[in-house]
Amino acid sequence: MPAIDYLRISLIDRCNFQCQYCMPEGADLQYLPQAEWLTRAELRQLLQEVFMPLGFSNFRLTGGEPLVRSEVVDIVRDIATLPGVTDLALTTNAFLLSGLAQNLWDAGLRRLNISLDSLDPAIFDRIVGGRGKSRWPQVWEGIQAAHRVGFSPLKLNVVVIPGVNDHEVLDLAALTLDRTWHVRFIEFMPIGNDSLFEQKGWVDSATLRDRIRQRWGLNAGTVRGNGPADVFQIPGAKGTVGFISQMSECFCDRCNRMRLSADGWLRPCLLNETGQLDLKTALRQGISTAEIKHQVAMLLAEKPEINYKMRQSGTSGAYQRTMSQIGG
Ligand code: SAM
Ligand code: SF4
């Protein structure tokens, strides 16, 4: 088992998009009241007094859409300036990025993952929802702004859905030919989106890899990060292509992460709720951070067993909560 040193922190469960696969229409999306969010001070205290003493040094901010939280730049600065943080990254849909990229950089952020499921504005808009003016140009401008500011590695995440965007895989892979970007294809998961999943199904990484290999060839590649992606490079390309295969491959035995939801629930596994701890209530009830640390340490000790059980049961079931609610 790897050391568990990576915490994914959801800053908010709300989002300015409503992606078909993440917040499907009709899903029971009851947003948390703001009073339930971990405050900036609570988050910093938990990292400083609980997680970092237990060996966590890598953090990712996510959501919902983390850039929707108005304090996001301050939260980045709070974490980036904690002694002992070795990596801080953020996952975003990039809609608000062009106005924030420089501020995030100045606050100490160096790594960004951006979701970009399509290069076709009409398809993109159908995936992310909303009416009126296309959202694609503003997202593309956000990606360009991040590139100009110097974010590196800049990773683009693509959830591949048959009949929706799978025909764009080669075009998306081609972005890496003359850019230092890293395009990662993610297998579509049945999380809170049963009917779309049943209707569309999913496509496995091996199939996508073969399509790219047949077009250009593929070499092994590398890219910095904490992720479970298998990384390749098209010969002569500046960037890389990666595959995140949580449906076709089980990587529970390589899992080095825990998740903290916007309302302070610590979750040892994306796909089941075993052993969750309510850290916000503990803090607000005045329980000492020494005691909270002890409880988190016990949960950490249980994680290999939780991972083992997941490995035995497989990951092909459907899960009721959406990624935006869990903290993707
Ligand atoms: N709003 C940000 C974004 O979209 O990048 C961060 C949160 S989002 C929940 C984090 C990641 O989860 C995104 O890359 C998104 O594509 C992915 N995701 C959401 N639902 C998914 C699903 N059902 N299957 C696979 N990936 C999913
Ligand atoms: Fe929002 Fe990200 Fe979920 Fe899309 S994937 S609805 S952008 S949280």
Q: Sign of the CA dihedral 97, 100, 101, 104?
A: negative
The alpha carbon of 23 and the centre of ligand 2 are apart by a number of angstroms equal to: 7
Residue identified by tokens 């694609």 is: 136
To 5 degrees, how large is the angle CA 60–CA 183–CA 214? 150
In a domain, 20, yes or no: no
Q: What is the pLDDT of residue 316?
A: 43
Residues 147/139, Cβ–Cβ less than 8 Å: no
Task: Count structural domains, the chain.
Answer: 1
Closest-lying ligand 2 atom to the alpha carbon of residue 129: 6
Q: Is 176 in the pocket of ligand 1 (CB under 6 A)?
A: no
In a domain, 204, yes or no: yes
Closest-lying ligand 2 atom to the alpha carbon of residue 324: 8
Cβ-proximal residues to 107 (8 Å cutoff; 6+ apart), any chain: 73, 74, 76, 77, 80
Q: What is the pLDDT of residue 315?
A: 47
Closest-lying ligand 1 atom to the alpha carbon of residue 157: 14
Q: Is 261 in the pocket of ligand 1 (CB under 6 A)?
A: no
The alpha carbon of 117 and the centre of ligand 2 are apart by a number of angstroms equal to: 11
In a domain, 2, yes or no: no
User: Checking DSSP bridges between strand 265-267 and strand 277-278, what pairing results, if any?
Assistant: antiparallel
The alpha carbon of 285 and the centre of ligand 1 are apart by a number of angstroms equal to: 33
Show the beta-strand stretches assigned E in the chain: 6-10, 58-62, 87-92, 111-115, 154-160, 181-187, 219-220, 230-233, 240-244, 257-260, 265-267, 277-278
To 5 degrees, how large is the angle CA 209–CA 150–CA 238? 35
Largest CA distance in the chain: 60
Closest-lying ligand 2 atom to the alpha carbon of residue 18: 6
Q: What is the pLDDT of residue 159?
A: 97
pLDDT string in tens for the chain (328-residue length): 788 999 999 999 999 999 999 988 877 778 999 999 999 999 999 999 999 999 999 999 999 999 999 999 999 999 999 999 999 999 999 999 999 999 999 999 999 999 999 999 999 999 999 878 999 999 999 999 999 999 988 999 999 999 999 999 999 999 999 999 999 999 999 888 888 899 999 999 999 999 999 999 999 988 877 577 899 999 999 999 999 998 888 878 788 899 999 999 999 887 777 778 999 999 999 999 999 999 999 999 887 676 656 656 654 444 556 677 666 6
In a domain, 4, yes or no: no
Closest-lying ligand 2 atom to the alpha carbon of residue 23: 6
In a domain, 3, yes or no: no
Tokens found for residue 238: 């500046």
User: From residue 151, how far is each of 82, 96, 114, 130, 263 by CA, in Å?
Assistant: 20, 16, 11, 28, 29
Q: Whole domain around residue 58: which residue ranges? A: 26-326
**Ligand 2: lining residues by beta carbon, under 6 Å:** 15, 17-19, 22-23, 63-65, 93, 115, 323-324
CATH of the domain at 280: 3.20.20.70
Q: What is the pLDDT of residue 270?
A: 79
In a domain, 160, yes or no: yes
Q: Which tens digit of pLDDT belongs to each residue from 129-166? A: 987 899 999 999 999 999 999 998 899 999 999 999 99
Q: What is the pLDDT of residue 2?
A: 80
Task: Report how far residue 64's alpha carbon sits from residue 29's, in angstroms, rounded to the nearest whole number.
Answer: 11
Adjacent-strand bridge partners of 58? 6, 87
The alpha carbon of 157 and the centre of ligand 2 are apart by a number of angstroms equal to: 11
Q: What is the pLDDT of residue 272?
A: 72
The alpha carbon of 324 and the centre of ligand 2 are apart by a number of angstroms equal to: 6
Written as one string, the DSSP assignment of 151-206 is -SSEEEEEEE-TTTTGGGHHHHHHTTTSSSEEEEEEE---BS-HHHHHHH----HH
Q: What is the pLDDT of residue 225?
A: 73
Q: Is 20 in the pocket of ligand 1 (CB under 6 A)?
A: no
In a domain, 5, yes or no: no
The alpha carbon of 227 and the centre of ligand 2 are apart by a number of angstroms equal to: 19
Q: What is the pLDDT of residue 140?
A: 98
User: What string of H, E and C letters represents the secondary structure of 279-295?
Assistant: HHHHHHCCCCHHHHHHH
Residues 169/160, Cβ–Cβ less than 8 Å: yes
Global pTM reads 0.93
In a domain, 8, yes or no: no
Task: Report how far residue 216's alpha carbon sits from residue 237's, in angstroms, rounded to the nearest whole number.
Answer: 10
Q: Is 93 in the pocket of ligand 1 (CB under 6 A)?
A: yes
